[in-house]
Amino acid sequence: MMSGSESVDRTAGEVADWLREQGYLREVNSSTDPSAVTVQRLVKAESAEPSTMAWAGTPQLAAAFDGSVLIASVEAASAAGSGVVVLVCDDPAAAWVDVATALFSHLSADQPAVWGDDADRLRAEDGMAWIRNARIGEGVAIGPHACIGMLGMTLRQTTSDGRAILFPHFGVVEVGDGAFIAAQVTIQRGMFDSTMIGRDVWIGPNTNIGHGVRIGDGTVIGPNVSIAGYAEIGAGVSIWQSASIRNAVSIGEGAVVAMGSIVRHDVGPGELWAGNPARRAGLARER
């Protein structure tokens, strides 16, 4: 994962003070001095790394966290590990988003892309493509006005004043060798992990790829397609024009999604799905 342009470690004590000032914090549960505990990365609650901070709204998530600082609901707080600094808030997700934006913006700052081939970079720049927070393989063609590594549209409404606030994104976009990304395609950076575009993937114009999506090698995606966050698209899949894929849906290897389809459920390998809502219409080889 790319790092911010500056290193600004914060302590759990600073985070607690900020949350208290904003009216989020109910109490601090800790066996150690919060001012001695640093936060270097913001992660999901499943993390088990030192110097990390996450949020948890359920006891299950709190129990899974083995980092340093956890912003937790009242219900979840007691399930956290003994070595974790627990900052108890009524709405831990909103508190996490607000403090991440206020104190840790350096971790999500836009970073220059890393290119496998400088000639590919020059061609993309000639077409006025916007590419940040990305690792681009060799032999990648990117069309005019494409946007790669942009911030996603993940919103959280706070409980304190009703604001709609964006979740910060800390991940990158990884594009495999030989990929073709047409004009005005938008690919969002991952929230925590990478958005992955495999080798020899073709993406048609005006298509949007959400944060955390993973697309397998050799897949073809037509124009005006929308693939929502965390969808898993297997290798050798065909998704035709104007189809929409719901978030977190899995589409198996070699499957075909017909044009205009609205896919709300997982698609098995080699299956053909069509319609609104999309349903299984046979096998892809029967096309």
Report if residue 35 sits inside a domain.
Answer: yes
Domain encompassing residue 214: 110-286
Which residues participate in catalysis according to the annotation? Answer: 211
Residue 285 has pLDDT above 80, yes or no: no
Read off the pLDDT band of 4 (50, 70, 90).
very low
- Could you tell me if 73 and 130 lie in one domain? no
**Both tokens assigned to 200:** 């020899």
Q: In angstroms, rounded to a whole number, what is the distance separating the alpha carbons of residues 273 and 260?
A: 11
User: CB neighbours of 157 closer than 8 A, spacing ≥ 6?
Assistant: 94, 163, 164, 165
Residue 137 has pLDDT above 70, yes or no: yes
Q: In angstroms, rounded to a whole number, what is the distance separating the alpha carbons of residues 187 and 150?
A: 7
Three-state SS letters, 70-95? EEECHHHHCCCCCCCEEEEECCHHHH
For residue 9, what pLDDT is reported?
Answer: 86
Report if residue 2 sits inside a domain.
Answer: no
Please state the domain count of the chain. 2
Residue 5 has pLDDT above 80, yes or no: no
Q: In angstroms, rounded to a whole number, what is the distance separating the alpha carbons of residues 45 and 42?
A: 9
Given the structure tokens 């690919």, which residue do they identify?
187
Report if residue 3 sits inside a domain.
Answer: no
Report if residue 65 sits inside a domain.
Answer: yes
